[in-house]
Amino acid sequence: MNYLITIIGPTAIGKTALSIQLAQHFNCAIISCDSRQFFKEMKIGTAVPNAEELAAAPHYFIQNKSIFEPYSVGDFESEALQQLDKLFQENPIQIMVGGSGLYVDAVLKGFDEFPDIDASIRDEINAHYDELGIQYLQNTLKELDPDYYQKISIENPQTLQNPQRMKRFVEVCIGTGKPYSSYIGKRKNQRNFTPIIIGLEANREKMYERINQRVDIMLQQGLVEEAYSLYPNKNLNALQTVGYRELFDYFDNKITLEFAIEEIKKNTRRFAKRQLTWFKRLENAKWFDFKTNTTSIIDYIQSKIN
């Protein structure tokens, strides 16, 4: 039996440190599923593990791609499962860690299958979006799949502001003549491992304090300079993320540096809240306070394996 110890939780909660301690205890590797740490050009703003941490255990999917390469969650699912197959041959216990909920889901459960959609429909939706904006996508989804619109309004409202996701929902509705939600949950993806899901959390005050401290450390490490080096490519999809977007606005003279820094902290706190909302949906996750002794967490893992 193979086991994938999966460490989840909000940003800056201590997932990296715990993953390394567990990897050393179980003598195994770490699969990173932080969708921002894939990109080698984004080091400081994504809190990539430092050289000492990376040397403490074998790591995969950290700074292995370029921001100029297209890389989807489906690509990651395929590559991560292939890597895990190899690792499980050496040790039936492996570790996955990261704060990107969609990428965690991809490895643990996979995705539903959708029919191919004619490219002309996608072009038509893009044209309407360019003319009418995000409200066109929202209204269309609300009309064609009211149940799904209601679901994401409650569970993940920021998705309603995400053009790429919304375009996908709408194109499936129009291209198939069926609600997007009618395709969800139909496919059962087989996995050759049992997940043991460990969640780390803290009270909101402590979580926000840790986030603010992390942003200050990133700034000391040279986040502004890193963002400036990426500024010419600010429209790339990989760079549409907290920590860079705000500094791009500063470089565009839209806001002051001081305001940009406060926005980074505020938006990171909001991101952490969304992460928790996403992860709290995962069944069979065992949540621990971030200060919990690692020995107690190992005892829990052993109880699930034995």
Backbone angles phi and psi of 174, in degrees to 5: -75, -45
According to the model, what pLDDT value does residue 178 have?
93
| pLDDT, averaged across the chain | 94
Q: Which position has the token pair 């129009």? A: 174
Is pTM, for the whole model, over 0.85? no
When pLDDT is cut at 50, 70 and 90, the band that residue 111 belongs to is: confident
pLDDT digits (tens, 9 = 90+) for 212-232: 999 999 999 999 999 999 999
Q: Is 15 annotated as a binding residue?
A: yes
Q: Is 159 annotated as a binding residue?
A: no
14 appears as a binding residue in the annotation: yes
Local structure of residue 88 (DSSP, 8 states): H
Q: Where do the DSSP E strands lie in the chain?
A: 3-8, 30-32, 59-60, 93-97, 194-201, 285-289
Q: Is 13 annotated as a binding residue?
A: yes
Which band of pLDDT confidence, cut at 50, 70 and 90, is reported for residue 6? very high
Secondary structure of residue 289 in the 3-state scheme: strand
**For the chain, what percent of residues have pLDDT higher than 70?**
99
**So where are the chain's domains?**
3-111+189-305, 119-183
Neighbours of 149 (CB within 10 A): 22
Query: Among 143-152, 177-186, 198-207, which stretch is predicted with the lowest mean pLDDT?
Result: 177-186
pLDDT of 137 over the 90 cut: yes
CA gap 79, 102 in Å, rounded: 15
Classify domain 3-111+189-305 by CATH number. 3.40.50.300
Tens of pLDDT, residues 228-274: 999 999 999 899 999 999 999 999 999 999 999 999 999 999 999 99
Give the integer Cα–Cα distance in Å for 152 and 267: 20
Predicted confidence at residue 187, as pLDDT, reads 65
Which range (68-72, 75-79, 260-264) has the least confidence?
A: 68-72
Task: Quote the pLDDT of residue 185.
Answer: 75
Question: Is 115 marked as binding a ligand?
Answer: no
93 DSSP β-pair partners: 3
pLDDT in tens, 151-194: 999 877 888 988 888 999 999 999 999 999 998 877 667 899 99
Rounded average pLDDT over 40-53:
95
Q: Which residues contact 208 (CB under 8 A, 6 or more apart)?
A: 269, 272
Is residue 47 a contact partner of residue 72, using CB atoms and an 8 Å limit?
A: no
- Domain 3-111+189-305 and domain 119-183, same fold? Reply is no
**Contact status, residue 238 vs residue 69, Cβ threshold 8 Å:** no
154 carries a ligand binding annotation: no
CATH classification number, 119-183, choose in 1.10.260, 1.10.3470, 1.10.20, 1.10.10? 1.10.20
